[in-house]
Amino acid sequence: MGKLLILFLNFLFTSAFCFCQVTRTQSFTCDCNNKKVKDSLIKKYLENNDMYDYNSLKWQLYCDSLITLCPNIAVAYQLKAIPYIKYGDYAAAFSLENKAVELEPKSWTAYRGFLKCIFTKDYEAAIIDFKNAQLLTPNNYEMDHTYLFYMGLCNLELCNYSLAEENFRQSILIETGGNLNNQSHVHCNTFLYTGILYYEMNNNDKAIEALLKCLSIYKDHPDANYYLAMLYKKENNDSLKNKYLLIAKQSKLKGYNIGEDNFYYAYYPHQITLYEIEKELKK
Amino acid sequence: MKLIVLHIFILFSCKAFGQNIILPDGEFMDTTSNHDKACKDYNWYYYQVGGKYPQSSTTLLKEAQQFLLKKNESYSDSGYITFRFKINCEGKMVQKVQVLQTDEKYSSYHFDKNLVNELYTFIKTLDRWKTVKTKEGEPLLYKAFITFKIKNGKVVNIIP
């Protein structure tokens, strides 16, 4: 049934498509190395009105149809992998992601690194991908953050603190365009994780400075308020500890979150929930 | 006598490395799947309902590590063990739990069955799952999962 539908979708599009031909053996062939052909196929198969629900059968059918027609279109593999990565099927997801990277390393290496960093907590492997991405497309961004930011996150989680410190420093340099006096373009979570890094390093002054910078951008940031409270806890300042814990709690109850698009799918490193805030308040 | 020893060895090997229940749609820890019909199933996922387990990965990791410590077993493999299941209208895990296992490189793999069973026992202790209703107040089931990242037989992270 699935194969018939793929054939139908192939027929539907290829019959009206001048770059693809029906061969003597009744199979369809396209000039898959022609950029115009690839772009047209992507538009037809992957950017149509049916491609809105990645959990639908149609989503997989369109991806499969395009892969059958032109197995060298990387984005088809990347899109096909989405439901798998979001529901814990890593064997299926990464065989597809690997294919996408193999076909178009410049486009998909950093994305795979992002998945390994945020989704599968595979920090060593994520760093390898981001190092490669940095060579392929230097100082670029993935999901709102520099590659250096993600390397910083991974090194933070691996307790490679001096490496993480250097990564975040370089990320801020890229985000400010080289002008450290202009920090208005720095993502608040670059400051959040710089603060968490210094918190872990017991460098309280630098941690407080970074977290306050984060809060100056996003004052209801629950995680920044929580870690600020934890810093004041270290300093035995109960008044400020409770102040920031209560702000963190209120922020959570009002629905504020870490400010990352993918927080629905996975907890970010060091991310806290209402449970941890309330547990601290009860102490 | 040798034959008996061999049989006993095979029997124990099967327990340790044996597979779970294999069905056309995957490998499962159990096959029963009863739920209250009033609890509607529209195939929603945890991420559509804010249904990640409401404790941070760090907190849950500590709990899992403490749980496994009590068992006092040692294992050596590395990779991922994922349990996929549904959460019912009372915030309880519904049976027919799927298990997926990969090695560190995300290739299909089978861990020691005892470790899989221990982790399965652990997830059955989780009792803070969110309950979900539609805008119209209709109670709903949703799909959720928990993955254990294993390194040298130890749980080192929990997803999501």
Give the pLDDT score at B37. Answer: 77
Per-residue pLDDT, B102:
98
On chain B, the residues whose CB falls within 8 A of the CB of A88 are 82, 84, 100, 145, 147, 159
Residue A121 belongs to a domain: no
> Quick check: is A218 in a domain?
yes
Query: Of A82, A103, A124, which residue is a domain's last?
Result: A103
Interface check A86 vs B, CB under 8 A: yes
Q: Residue A22's pLDDT is what?
A: 73
- Does the residue A195 lie in any domain? no
Residue A143 within any structural domain of the chain: no
Q: Maximum CA pair distance of chain B?
A: 69
Q: Is residue B9 in some structural domain?
A: no
Considering the domain boundaries, does residue A134 fall inside one?
no
**8 Å CB contact of B157 and A276:** no
Residues of chain A in contact with residue B55, where contact means CB-CB under 8 angstroms, are 273, 275-276
Number of domains in chain A: 2
Q: Given A80, A103, A126, which residue is the final one in a domain?
A: A103
Per the model's pLDDT, the better-predicted residue between A18 and B30 turns out to be: B30
Tokens 């629950």 map to which residue?
A: A222
Residue A166: inside a domain = no
| Residue that is last in its domain, among A85, A103, A121 | A103
Does a structural domain hold residue B2? Answer: no
- Please check whether residue B10 lies inside any domain of the structure: no
Mean pLDDT of chain B, nearest integer: 89
Within a domain: residue A76? yes
**Which residue of A55, A88, A95 is in closest CB contact with B147?**
A88
Find the chain B residues whose C-beta atoms sit closer than 8 A to any C-beta of A.
43, 45, 47, 50, 52, 54-59, 80, 82, 84, 100, 102, 104, 106-108, 128, 143, 145, 147, 149, 157, 159-160
- Residue B38: its pLDDT value, please? 81
> Who among B43, B54, B149 is closest to A274 (CB)?
B54
B16: pLDDT strictly greater than 70: no
* A89 contacts A97 by C-beta, under 8 angstroms: no
Q: How many domains does chain B contain in total?
A: 1
CA B23 to CA B153: how far, in whole Å?
Answer: 27
Would you call the peptide bond into B139 cis, given omega within 30 degrees of 0 as the criterion? no
Question: What token pair was written down for A214?
Answer: 């984060």
Over the range B57-87, which residues count as b (16 or more CB within 10 Å of their CB) and which as e? bbbbbeebeebbeeeeeebebbbbbbbbbbb
Q: Is residue A133 part of a domain?
A: no
B152: Cβ contacts below 8 Å, ≥ 6 apart: B76, B77, B78
Of A133 and B39, more confident: A133
pLDDT tens by residue, chain A, 283 residues:
556 565 555 555 554 455 677 776 667 788 999 999 999 999 999 999 999 999 999 999 999 999 999 999 999 999 999 999 999 999 999 999 999 999 999 999 999 999 999 999 999 999 999 999 999 999 999 999 999 999 999 999 999 999 999 999 999 999 999 988 888 899 999 999 999 999 999 999 999 999 999 999 999 999 999 999 999 999 999 999 999 999 999 999 999 999 999 999 999 999 999 999 999 999 9
Task: List C-alpha distances in Å: B46 to A168, B20, B39, B85, B141.
Answer: 32, 25, 16, 10, 10
Could you report the per-residue pLDDT of B52-101, keeping only the tens digit for each? 999 999 999 999 999 999 988 899 999 999 999 999 999 999 988 999 99
The ipTM of this complex is 0.91
The domain of A84 spans 1-103
Domain with B140, as residue range(s), is 18-159
